[in-house]
Structure 1
Amino acid sequence: METSSEKIREMPVVRDPEDFNNRSGNVLERLVFNHRFWFIAACTLITVMLSLQAAKLSVNTGFDKMIPQNHPYIQNYFENRGKLGGLGNIVRIVIENKQGDVFDPAFLDITRRVNDEVFLMPGVARSFMKSIWMASVRWTEVTENGFRGGQVMPDDYDGSPRTIEDLKTGIRRAGIVGNLVSNDYKSIMIVVPLLEKNMETGERLDYGAFSRQLETQIRQKYELQGAEGKGPQVKIHIVGFAKLVGDLIDGLMHVTNFFGIAFGVSALIIFLYTRCLRSTLLVLSCSLVAVVWELGIVKTLHLDLDPYSILVPFLVFAIGVSHGAQKMNGIMQDVGRGTHRYVAARYTFRRLFLAGVTALLADAVAFVVLTVIDIPVIKELALVASIGVALLIVTNLLLLPVMLSYLGVNPVAAARSLSGEGAKQGPVWRFFNHFTERRWASGAILVSAVLAAGGYAISLHLKTGDLDPGAPELRADSPYNIDVAYINGHYGLSSDQFVSIVKTPKDGCGEYKSVKETERFAWTLRQVPGVQYTMALSDNIAKAVAGSAEGNPKWLSIPNNPSMIGAAVERTLNDNPDAVDKGCSTIPVIAYLTDHKAETLHRIVTTVEEFAQQHDDKDIHFLLAAGPAGIEAVTNIVVEKSSRTMLAYVYGAVIILCFITFRNWRAVVVAVVPLMITSVLCEALMVMLGIGVKVATLPVIALGVGIGVDYALYLLSVQLSFQRAGMPLAEAYKAAAAFTGKVVALVGLTLAAGVVTWAWSPIKFQVDMGILLTFMFLWNMVGALILVPALSCFLLKTPRQVEISIDQPSEVNHVPQSACSH
């Protein structure tokens, strides 16, 4: 009896390439395969040139690249950045005395040397740097003769008991306990604002190099001196954006280990499937070529890899392996039937090039739509990834078949590739074939609907932003997060600063109305849950007024007296220049938060917006946002706004591509429904794992859709070709499973194997991405193998028997009978 795959032969068996018509096929096929040598030579030359460029690539990022630059609130920050005293990109260095307090002369000597070394580092905004050793940190007091003040660190400090006492007095008078000196007097803090560019070279600050400087010249150097008995034992704690990025870059340097593991696992999986060493190496090599080309082009465009886009080469490699495996499988099956390797390569090109290009376009679209997110680092990720996916069209859809047309495949492995045809089908595939039956199909659709409904209910609790304290990009037990915990536990003011901006006309900060409104604003922020403390110009003025009245607390208020306010503003400008700009028109109001969780930031933003709506007028405006927490709040707003838009664009593009490929709306539904269910379940998984939607995780949702549709495209395109030739659904699906279905399973496992190793990364967001991508790759694979036949049972009818080869599209659309088996 004739088997299903024997009913419709893909192509005539051609054993001698001389019997093959080289003029057949489309223009691209003739151009590439009729000039194979020159095509390979051109690819080799390009590989050599771009590999030299790739060797020069570096990993770096910038503070401005990580924030949504075009958002109005960030525009406010950019317009006023020079007037805010470095309230943006700041590093905090804390030196802890493990054996005593901060008044140990030997310990103070270490803090002075640390202060001086950091002061001279490139990229430091020296005029805004603060510590007890900086002349700008001063104390003020009121005496019977009027105000007097001075530096916290005495001018004549020499470590003597007298100057130590003067230092203690200065610290108390300046009120910097809990700010620059810890509450327990065991450590001091150095606040280091950074410039975005190195003023000496004009180049963007190298965060990786700056972080390494802090490690080697500060942490290791001074902690080692204490350990060797050359001074008191000290512990250095360092937090801030630059240190976080530096730790991310250092952690990502281990990415090559994961790349090697992914390469080895992918090679093992493909080899176990094919038992053909040469074709396995070719698939991996062509995917690596695409990665080399991608990195070389990135360098040619004068771009750097950053902690987010450095993961893209992993994905490009995994995607390349998946498409290469499909081409290899097609050639192997034709060779197994007796076709010459050259002819087999052309046959496979004809069958799968359109499906492969459509799938890669879907992958590219998934990356391109990320550009709707107004964050430069994501836009660069989209560009880098789109370049890589586009290159796979050349390396894996063209170069790989051409190379296989020369080298061929192992004949024994080729014969084995046909072992699943006909009646000889394993139990797993017999199980999947059951879903072409109405009863099984109904059950699968019902279970999927229940899962989708449950997943949707859970996904409603999905939050935007960080859900944990510290830096969620790193593991909770990372040195950085340990440092964050120490600073939050020993200082009254946290590192989570949310800065609002009060704008007045020039010299308007001393007007009674401006000061009083600023005081009301600061008081309103203090009532918001999650706010520890606020600091504003109004606080300085009230203290100065009370000080001028011999410290009487009854005077701790804002007087409606221009001369008194003017004197207080002048005093503040001398003693605390960061409280207002020199033009007396920009007043930062700093709210110190208990954490930077999404709920906390949302409450602050809502409060500021409501206050501004009620109190803004022609003379005074309350603006968002600056400070690390303020900028993160705006980032959350952009991510939340973009997430649904991005997903709509991805699905819209995938639906259009599927419709172009299948030209049948029912087939589009069959292909897209499994993807939608996976997206819903992925969001539910994020809720259960405590992962928020943020810059690191938002791309995963788009990639899961773009890459996941590959399964349906390869499986459904072949199934429809058999169906259009008159085959019943059960036979068509069985033949499609033998031809591409097994490789769909192989691809799912290979993609998952390429990213599951990220779960052991020291970088938390890489762990999150690895878990989510592994889930989406595997679930999309299972969904395609189950729901494609199940949905086809009800939506895709089998047309009348027509003679048609599966390499050619059919225009047959009439529907004479049900597709389901009974």
Structure 2
Amino acid sequence: MSSHIDESINMPAVRDVRDFDRQSGSWLERFIFNNRPVILIACLLVTVVLGFFASRLEVNANFERMMPTGNPYIKNYLTYKKELPGLGNSIRIVVENKTGNIYDPAYLETLRKINDTLYLIPGVDRSWMKSIWMPIVRWKEITEDGLNGGAVMPADYNGSPESIKQLRNNIARAGIVGALVAGDLKSTMIVTPLLDVNPETQKALNYSDFSDALEAKIRVFQSPTIGVHIVGFGKLAGDLISGLKEVLKFFAVSVLIAFVFVYLYTRCIRSTILLVSVSIAGVIWLLGLMKLLGYELDPYLTLVPFLIFAIGLSHGAQKMNGILQDIGRGTDKYVAARYTFRRLFFAGLTALLTNIVGFAVLAIIDIPVIRDLAVTTSIGISVLIFTKLILIPVTLSYIGVSPKAALRAAGENKVATPSSGILARVWLGLDCLTHRRWASVALVAGGLLTILCAIVMMHLKIGDLDAGAPELRAHSRYNRDNAYITQHYQLSSDQFVVIVKTPDEGCRMYPILQKMDSLATILRETPGVQTTVSLANIVPFITSGQFEGNGKWMTISRNQDIINTAVSSAIVAAPDSTNVSCSVSPLVAYLADHKADTLTRVLNATEKFSAANDAGPKSAQPVQFLLAAGSAGIEAATNIEVEKGIITMYLAVYGATALLCLVTFRSIRATVVAMIPLLMTTVICKALMVWLGIGLKVATLPVIAVGVGVGVDYALYLLSVQLVMQRRGESLTVAYRRSLDFTGKVVALVGLTMAAGVITWAWSPIKFQADMGILLAFMFLWNMLGALILIPALSHFLLNPKATVKDPASDLPVSEKQLSTGVEA
């Protein structure tokens, strides 16, 4: 491959295409350019067909695809999911009386209408829906005659003062104030689990449609006297999908920014339109293939189309730059296109393969949505092999570039002097970095910055750092609803559930109930836990009721007959306290929030108790305390996978990238020069996350791979030319200057263009999208600056001929001679 670059730098200017040997070049080049019409027609047809399928791509989210399905805690949840209604994917709707309390007949009638409307919305698990209007919510009390109880809403309720008084008594006896009824008695809550499959369509529940139904049928009850607050994954996913419409606007802004930047660089409208259009075509191909392969566009995958556009723009700009330079020195447009293909096809192919491998290794993280991102991004980058490396040169061989743009490009590539413009002075400044003094300054400054950021990044947290839904802005409707619920209800929606597994009827055994109660006590004493609810909490109350409410019996009796009666009554009073066979009983811990520190404390306390108290099937009282269910339990398991997967991802991403660089350059030293800026980028980016208060989680994890995948492109292009020039005997300074002239301007163009495009995401209504925009803008800029600044500085010490032993048979040093035989761009 080095021969291709070496020849291309001094390729003769062929003004008349008849003087060009069409049989020159590789077989691939001859095949492509001798069949140009077929190539163009085929690409056009593929774009039309995939565009049709792309228009039918559905946007949706999936609760279980956010879980690390291979994690043992999530396996436990999925195994006993049917036994744990409402402890996974559910929504909560709070209906507020703004002008009075809940004992207003008009308010109760509105609540009934909302309850009945929600009951009929497809996707709601009606059998476990809870509200004061549902018979599953019951009251119980201890009387002289024993335990008494019934549905909270009186069967004969008619809005009269008598029935309102009865309802007030039932709510007090049910003990649901703080849970289903607000502490200030001004609102009540409806809690309902969601089904995975829409029973009407028999397809996966469409969260966009479900969220729209909540807005159209439930939120419509909101008025000056009634407030409606909705939280839960189903609503969050719907809001994220709605936010995608705003994200599409930002994507359009990114395309416009790219168009302006590229045009300012080329001053050629036809080639600019071509480059941007083909970049968009690459996105269309990807979206069409996603539809054909059965994928949906998840809100967490919105990064992928932009990445394909940005990476395609990067490689396309390199191709256009080469053609501009060749036409500027008098070469025919057809010949210039072939020269550019010959010069940069293998460079681009190597860079794209590196990108593919870099993103594909994300699939090792056991979270389906991350694996989807890895697969879809790899598919999209594979598409670029056709749209960028082949389609752009072939199309430009027909349309060429404007003569003024070509002459301007040729003039800028002449040897610059300090007085010839800002760019020339910048280039001369970068030349200084090839000398020991300034190379040392650059490396010392970079090293100190990296050390400082390495210290800061030690404080990076795994998981969410804020209350509410960190995916959305703090002022979003969802987070305002969540804040209202948190403020007015003692029990939060952050549930950490321990699954107590026993043999059939095992939940009636005294030792097991005692252990359950001990774990509940430990969790209640753990900071961040509001309270706990389990069968062990209910049994003492019912036992006391069997003995006229005597406080001495407010405990778990050792008498099996008493326990059996209490458990049977508990199952009637709270049917979700255990399953039918009394073998799976949830212990629910209500957490103050789902921040990473809170989850870690609860997880550690539960794991410690489980390790000390789990009894195998051969034990006299076999019991297992299995983690974890509930929204907080699932998030805790996800945090574990992210923390475990990040190290594996680093090793895989950097290992694969280093291996491909080694194959490309055939030099360990050149590979080190290419990799050090990428490693620094990761360290500085993680420190930036600490400073910005961004946790490492599913939404931000891919950013690291993006930085490596895109950043290595710059090194491949710059080093490839530099090493070839050094092989020809040029000094490091001259070689690096030629590399800047050849590809440096495009590296700067692409870095600035991509950073300017993604920084607009900072204003996105979707918070994690804004976070990614800020991080990506930094990484694109730093990768560009790191390549331009650190490559010459590192090259002075690692790739400088003056620093190596000379080969007597050549003017090149031994290390450079090895490079010259293996450099492939």
TM-score (norm 1): 0.95
For residue 364 of structure 1, the aligned residue among 356, 368, 382 is 356
Residue 636 (structure 1) aligned with residue 639 (structure 2): yes
- Distance in 2 between residues matched to 1:35 and 1:689, nearest whole Å: 53
Cα distance, 1:802 vs structure 2: 14
What is the match of residue 254 of structure 2?
A: 262
Work out which of the residue numbers 769, 774, 779 in structure 2 matches 1:766. 769
Task: Say if 2:145 and 2:548, in contact at 8 Å, map to a contact too.
Answer: no
In structure 2, relative to structure 1, the CA distance for the partners of 1:58 and 1:400 (3 Å cut) is: same
Partner of 2:40: 40
Greater shift after overlay, 420-429 or 351-360? Answer: 420-429
1:395 aligns with 2:390: no
User: Secondary structure in 1 aligned to 2:627?
Assistant: strand
Equivalent-residue separation in structure 2 for 1:21 and 1:798 (angstroms): 37
- Per-residue deviation at 1:532? 0.6
1:339 is the counterpart of 2:306: no
User: 1:539 is matched with which residue: 534, 537, 545?
Assistant: 537
Question: How far apart are 1:7 and its partner, in Å?
Answer: 12
Q: How much has 1:750 moved relative to structure 2? A: 1.2
- What secondary structure, in the 3-state scheme, does the structure 2 residue paired with 1:591 have? strand
How big is the shift at 1:798? Answer: 3.7
1:455–1:684 Cα contact (<8 Å) kept: yes
Q: Say whether residues 1:738 and 2:738 are aligned partners.
A: no
Deviation at 1:801, TM superposition (A): 12
1:296 aligns with 2:288: yes
Letter matched to residue 38 of structure 1: V
Task: Give, in whole Å, the separation in 1 of the partners of 2:464 and 2:777.
Answer: 22
- SS of the residue corresponding to residue 419 of structure 1 reads helix
Whole-angstrom distance in 1 between the partners of 2:112 and 2:787: 64
Distance 1:10 1:203 in 2: 61
| CA distance, structure 1, for counterparts of residue 573 and residue 309 of structure 2 | 58
Distance 2:470 2:415 in 1: 53
Q: Does 1:313 align with 2:305?
A: yes
Amino acid across the alignment from 2:632: A
Q: How does 1:511-660 map to 2 (within 5 A)?
A: 511-618=509-616, 619-660=622-663
Asked if the contact 2:57/2:287 (under 8 Å) is kept, the reply is: yes
CA contact (8 A) 1:93 1:191 kept: yes
Q: Per-residue deviation at 1:389?
A: 0.7
Secondary structure at the residue paired with 2:818? coil
Unpaired runs of 5+ residues, structure 1, are 228-232, 805-809, 816-822
TM-aligned CA deviation for residue 136 of structure 1: 0.9
Q: Distance in 1 between matches of 2:88 and 2:199?
A: 18
**How big is the shift at 1:9?**
4.5
1:727–1:798 contact (8 Å) kept in structure 2: no
Instruction: Give the counterpart of 2:367 among 370, 375, 385.
Output: 375
Structure 2 partner of 1:98 = 98
Amino acid at match of 2:795: S
Q: How far apart in 1 are the matches of 2:230 and 2:363?
A: 33
CA contact (8 A) 1:137 1:152 kept: yes
Q: Is the 8 A contact 1:239 1:484 kept in 2?
A: yes
Check conservation: 1:90, 1:193, Cα contact below 8 A.
yes
Change (3 A) 1:733 1:222: same
- Please state if 1:813 is matched with 2:818: yes
Residue correspondence of structure 1 range 224-243 to structure 2 within 5 A: 226-227=223-224, 233-243=225-235
Whether 1:280 aligns to 2:272 is: yes
Alpha-carbon offset, residue 682 of structure 1: 0.3
SS state of the match for residue 235, structure 1? strand
Of 673, 681, 691, 2:684 maps to 681
SS at match of 2:80: helix
Q: 1:185 matched to which residue of 2?
A: 185
1:6 CA drift (Å): 13
Asked whether the equivalents of residues 92 and 238 of structure 1 are also in contact (C-alpha less than 8 Å), the reply is yes
Is the CA contact 2:8–2:343 (under 8 Å) kept in the aligned structure 1? no
Which segment is superposed worse, 617-626 or 18-27? 18-27
Q: Show CA shifts across 1:148-197 (max 9, x none).
A: 21110000000000000000000001000001110000000000100111
Distance in 2 of aligned mates of 1:51 and 1:500: 48
Counterpart of 1:230? Answer: none
Tell me the amino acid that sits aligned with residue 727 of structure 1: E
Change (3 A) 1:814 1:305: closer
Matched residue, 1:52: 52
Q: Residue by residue, what CA displacement relative to the aligned partner does 1:30-57 show, whole Å, maximum 9, x if unpaired?
A: 1111100100010011111111111111
For the Cα contact (< 8 Å) 2:73–2:627, is it kept in 1? yes
1:428, distance to aligned residue in structure 2 (A): 1.2
Q: Distance in 2 between matches of 1:518 and 1:242?
A: 31
Is the Cα–Cα contact under 8 Å of residues 322 and 750 in structure 1 kept in the other structure? no
How many Å separate the matches in 1 of 2:256 and 2:201?
42
Q: Distance between the aligned counterparts of 1:145 and 1:608, measured in 2?
A: 39
Corresponding residue number in structure 2 for 1:17: 17
Is the 1:727–1:801 Cα contact (8 Å) retained in structure 2?
A: no
| In 1: Cα distance, 2:434 partner to 2:108 partner | 78
Alpha-carbon separation, structure 2, partners of 1:10 and 1:67: 55
Q: How does 1:88-127 map to 2 (within 5 A)?
A: 88-127=88-127
Contact 1:536/1:590 (CA < 8 Å) preserved in 2? yes
Question: How many pairs were matched up?
Answer: 798
1:10 Cα offset (Å): 2.5
The residue number in structure 2 matching 1:352 is 344
How far apart are 1:606 and its partner, in Å?
1.1
Which region of structure 1 is more displaced relative to structure 2, 362-371 or 289-298? 362-371
Q: Which residue of 1 aligns with 2:780?
A: 777
CA distance in 2 between counterparts of 1:790 and 1:811 reads 17
1:708 and 2:706 aligned: no
CA contact 2:352–2:382 (8 Å) conserved in 1: yes
User: Partners of 2:443 and 2:429 in 1: how far apart?
Assistant: 16
**Alpha carbons 1:714, 1:740 under 8 Å: kept:** yes
Q: 1:608 to 1:283 in 2, by over 3 A?
A: same
SS at match of 2:531: strand
Alignment of 1:238-257 (within 5 A): 238-257=230-249
Distance 2:237 2:656 in 1: 34
The match for 2:421 is none
Work out whether residues 67 and 376 of structure 1, in 8 Å CA contact, stay in contact via their aligned partners in 2. Answer: yes
Unaligned 5+ segments in structure 2 are 418-423, 617-621, 821-825
Match of 2:434 in 1: 436
Conservation of the 8 A alpha-carbon contact between 1:445 and 1:787: yes
CA contact (8 A) 1:725 1:801 kept: no
1:789 matched to 2:787: no
Contact 2:6 2:724 in 1 (8 A): no
CA deviation profile, 1:247-278 (whole Å, cap 9, x unmatched): 10001121221111001100000100110111
Provide the secondary structure at the position in 2 that maps to 1:813. Answer: helix
Q: Deviations over 1:123-163 (max 9, x none)?
A: 11111110000011111112222222111000000000000
Equivalent position of 2:473 in the other structure:
475
Q: Tell me by how many angstroms 1:462 deviates.
A: 0.8
The aligned amino acid for 1:452 is T
1:423 Cα deviation (Å)? Answer: 3.1
Q: How far apart are the structure 2 equivalents of 1:156 and 1:194?
A: 30
**Aligned residue type for 2:639:** N
The answer to whether the 8 Å contact 2:261/2:749 transfers is yes
Tell me what 1:144 maps to. Answer: 144
Two-structure CA RMSD over aligned residues (Å)? 1.8
User: Using the alignment, how far apart are the partners of 2:533 and 2:8 within structure 1?
Assistant: 79
Aligned to 2:80: 80
Distance 1:510 1:333, change over 3 A: same
Deviation of the 1:803 alpha carbon: 15
Q: In the alignment, is the contact (CA less than 8 A) between 2:100 and 2:186 conserved in 1?
A: yes
**Equivalent residue number for residue 823 of structure 2:** none
Alignment of 1:465-504 (within 5 A): 465-504=463-502
Distance 1:474 1:9, change over 3 A: closer
* Counterpart for residue 70 of structure 1: 70
TM-score (norm 2): 0.95
Q: 1:814 to 1:577 in 2, by over 3 A?
A: closer
